[in-house]
Amino acid sequence: MRPKIDARRTAVLVLDVQNDLVKITPCIRENRVLEHIASVVKAARRRKVPVIHITASVRGDFLDIPRDNPLWDGLRKSRQLIFGTRGAAIHPKIRPLKSELVLNKTCVDPFLTTNLGQALQNHDVNTVVLTGLWTNWVVEATARHASDMGYRVFIPRECVASNNFENHDFAINRILPTICYVVGTADVLAAFK
């Protein structure tokens, strides 16, 4: 039996919903991923559930990311997610409020190069709802870390997408259900009424 989401002890994390990633994520428009994320964020705000935005942005000289790593080599070559650029900005459909935390990371797992753990403690949450890009990268890494720390983790399946369908499908149907609760967006919206 799946536990219920208690809105009073929950935070919503919006992970890497940045222009550069939105532009190269297949099926994001057809599957209305941004609209689903926006609906969860809107419901959370209405219920006073904390919304924390996580970005991945790096220096233009790339001195703040691993040097010998295939993932980051691709970032260097494409010159994406450079701090302060339009591409690194959070997509306008998910724009944060001035009162919401925006934490920037320079790796995949947001617990490692941000003060996300402290922010969750400050909000006295025991549950996180994860949304964002990409399912098999930041969403999975965050789910693993949060689960290991004892948080209850929920992922609304319509609120995540990946760099290709195969990676998304494998993560959402095979990996993530063994770590956390994969639910429908409607389940989260119902908990935030």
Residue 2 lies in a domain: no
Per the structure, the count of domains in the chain is 1
Mean pLDDT of 91-107: 97
User: Please, what is the end-to-end C-alpha distance for the chain in angstroms?
Assistant: 21
Residue 24 lies in a domain: yes
Nearest to 13 by CA among 120, 160, 130: 130
Domain, as residue range, for 183:
7-191
pTM: 0.96
Beta carbons of 111 and 140 less than 8 angstroms apart: no
pLDDT digits over 121-167, tens only?
A: 999 999 999 999 999 999 999 999 999 999 999 999 999 999 999 99
CATH number of residue 84's parent domain:
3.40.50.850
